Structure 1
Amino acid sequence: MVTVKLTAEQTRGAMGMTHFAAKLGERSPSHIHTLEDEIFMIGSGGVRATVGDRTELLEGGSVLFLPRGIPHSYLVESETADLYVLTCPGGFERFFLDGGYPVHMGAAAPVGDRWSVERTQEVAEKLGLGIIWGS
């Protein structure tokens, strides 16, 4: 589950922040951001992150800078993980706001629709977020 904590509108475009309550096996495919830098902040759990040719296990309290233009991906390796992602400048949080499924009382994903790597790519491309996949 992803919760948007700050939007570009709230920060005059400076940043966006999301919180991931992630489970074992959740991941992002390798990709490059062309519009923003990211900072991963791990609250708890273990997340294996690859940035360029470097891979490391991030655990509670770890912080990692992911500069735009460098391929990166991540994989949750613990049963659960709390991951905060700060994007600078803001705007990438639209990916979750526009492409996600609401999780309030009674809300459900459309029948037959599941989140997948392919859906991730389709949503990002539709929103024009400047992502290059499979890098």
Structure 2
Amino acid sequence: MKRKQFLLAPIAALPAIALGKTETHTSRTKLPFIVQAGNNRSGVPMMKFMGIHPNDVVVSRKDTDNALSAFLFTGYGNVGTPLHVHFNQDEFFTVIEGKYRFVCGEVDAELNAGDTIFLPRNIPHQWLQLSENGKLIYTVNPAGELEDFFQEANNLKEPTQEEIDKLALKHGMKHLGPPLSR
């Protein structure tokens, strides 16, 4: 009898699973929205620790129940990211203006306006702006905590590299090396 009960228990649970309550989210934005140039969803400038390079949140993780977030980066001069890895997020970048060099795993490529690159999670990557002016739009999927990383980094007065690295790790990514050079 015990064997029969053991075998029938999963079958008996199927109706409950099929009719089970599905989770509903209330934070997802239900209406379209527009983010005007120079503004962002958070209401505060991002990435001030990198100097004059705005990194605006144009679609917040709060808008999508953490499904994705999108950022608009505007760079001036020779700027880029350190070699880093995201543990739980994929990224894709589209170059809007300028020229960039992306390195992701074995791929080392120069991208121009209109080009897009996909960077899978858990593969170390970095990029460098090669032109005097540049603009990227990029998404992180799922959104994770990149937005929180930028906001917390902004709150640091004059952060050291060690503080930024520690903050990155707290938010699901790890800095592995210095930025690219020309």
Normalising by structure 1, report the TM-score.
0.82
Q: From 43, 49, 56, give the equivalent of 2:96.
A: 43
In the alignment, does 2:169 pair up with 1:130?
A: no
Tell me, yes or no, if structure 1 residue 121 matches structure 2 residue 165. Answer: yes
Match of 1:75 in 2: 128
Please state whether the residue corresponding to 1:134 is helix, strand or coil: strand
CA–CA separation in structure 2 for the residues paired with 1:120 and 1:59? 29
CA 1:69–1:78 in structure 2 vs 1: closer, same or farther (change >3 Å)? same
Q: Which residue in 1 is equivalent to 2:81?
A: 28
| Structure 1 Cα separation of the partners of residues 163 and 94 of structure 2 | 25
* Aligned match of 2:26: none
What is the aligned partner in structure 2 of residue 62 from structure 1? 115
Tell me, in whole angstroms, the C-alpha distance in 2 between the residues paired with 1:44 and 1:117.
Answer: 28
Q: Runs ≥4 in structure 1, deviation > 3 angstroms?
A: 116-120
Residue aligning to 1:93: 147
Q: Give the structure with the higher percent strand.
A: 1
| Amino acid paired to 1:22 | G
More helix by share: 2
Cα deviation, 1:47-77, whole Å, max 9, x if unaligned, reads 1000101111111001100000111000111
* Counterpart AA for 1:56: A
Letter in 2 for 1:123: L
User: Which TM-score applies when normalising by structure 2?
Assistant: 0.62
For the 8 Å contact 2:74–2:136, the answer to whether it is kept is: yes
Q: Which blocks of at least 5 consecutive residues in structure 2 are unaligned?
A: 1-53, 178-182
Q: Mark the CA change 1:117 to 1:29 in structure 2 (over 3 Å): closer, same or farther.
A: farther
Higher Cα Rg: structure 1 or 2?
2
Root-mean-square deviation (CA, aligned residues, Å) is 1.9
Q: List runs of 5+ in structure 1 lacking aligned partners.
A: 102-108
Question: Which is bigger in relative contact order (C-alpha 8 A, separation at least 6)?
Answer: 1
Q: Secondary structure at the match of 1:9?
A: helix
CA distance 1:28–1:117, change in 2 (3 Å)? farther
Q: Partner letter of residue 82 of structure 2?
A: P
Return the alpha-carbon distance in structure 2 between the equivalents of residues 132 and 98 of structure 1. 16
